[in-house]
Structure 1
């Protein structure tokens, strides 16, 4: 799950960064996770965009039809596991594991306008909304409170 979330967060609109702009950055990202990469960056970006759209990113482009990477099933320690030959395959294998475990709806995109960070909802009832309550959630709750407070000040006082 951490691999999938990290892959979904390889681009940050808020910070103006994108690991998938430069082949060197992509190779470094993959190497930091013990993965290799042979994939074309355009295909990698399309996989990321399709996965982001699949988990609810309103800005994601669901162009995932036919995208993929070789993944195979191997026996390791007496149990079948999904194995990949490269970084994109490893990400897709991680996504498949999450889906098979019926936890796909736990992968979410923060709805804050200036965030869009992907996160895994570990709450018991799968109700977490924000990537961080201390940052995005707190900011949104404070904004809502200010709007409610401001709305009350604009209304005339009516006495019974």
Structure 2
């Protein structure tokens, strides 16, 4: 589902990707804040102003997809290192990297009204973002949707995308760019190997 974010610089939207379903969109959007050389995208967590703009937009999309009231979270300079560390941890998990198990404290308020449970982070800054992100990761793991949130197999890219293929086998965020680039390099390598085999150097 494509969701507009009222002009905020969404990290997933700038890659031309659809948002992951429900609250998982926030996890995806955090991973996609990383800078890229091609295309030339800045790190949205590089400065407090761009980080706050990103967070406001990401929470707007989260609200649209979960139907919950947006939490008011503000970021300061001291929050940025922690958010970048959280981003790196999430990227590693999505890429299937094995790591030591760690416990992540969550501070949430839960409300039950009209047969529906809602939740919001209690802390501010990086604490609030982390509580919400790990909660969405936990919920997605229980619904089975977390396994479809992946990072592009192109190491120069690493964009987080939601795999909507039938058998969940997609590995590129965009087969026309990263996929074709990989296939072209593989084809050239095979041709070189074939030529060296046919004409060995004495």
- Regarding TM over 0.5, the answer is yes
Cα distance per residue 1:61-108 (max 9 Å; x no partner): 968834445223322541224433444433333222211112222121
In structure 2, distance between residues paired with 1:63 and 1:76: 38
Distance 1:43 1:62 in 2: 18
Say yes or no: does 1:27 pair with 2:52. Answer: yes
Aligned partner of 1:42 in structure 2 is 81
Alignment match of 2:171 (pick from 124, 129, 134) = 129
- Report if the CA contact (8 A) 1:11-1:20 is conserved: yes
Counterpart selection for 1:72 from 103, 109, 119: 109
Whole-angstrom distance in 2 between the partners of 1:43 and 1:24: 16
Q: Quick check: 1:20–1:41 contact (8 Å CA) kept in 2?
A: yes
The alpha carbon displacement at 1:11 in A equals 0.8
Q: Is the deviation greater in 91-100 or in 68-77? A: 68-77
Q: What is the deviation of 1:10?
A: 0.7
Check conservation: 2:45, 2:84, Cα contact below 8 A: yes
* SS of residue matched to 1:19: coil
Q: CA deviation at 1:143?
A: 1.2
Q: Distance in 2 between matches of 1:26 and 1:63?
A: 28
Cα separation, 1, equivalents of 2:88 and 2:100: 7
Provide the TM-score with structure 2 as the length reference: 0.65
Secondary structure of the corresponding residue to residue 111 of structure 1 = coil
Q: Is the 8 A contact 1:47 1:68 kept in 2?
A: no
Give the whole-Å Cα distance in 2 for the aligned partners of 1:21 and 1:63.
27
Higher percent of residues as strand: 1
TM-score under structure 1 length normalisation? 0.79
Relative to structure 1, is the Cα distance of residues 121 and 20 closer, same or farther in structure 2, using a 3 angstrom cutoff? same
Contact 1:49 1:63 in 2 (8 A): no
Alpha-carbon distance between aligned partners in 1 of 2:104 and 2:73, rounded to the nearest angstrom = 16
Instruction: Determine the C-alpha separation between the residues in 2 that align with 1:57 and 1:88.
Output: 20
Consecutive unaligned residues in structure 2, runs of 5 or more = 1-23, 61-70, 123-127
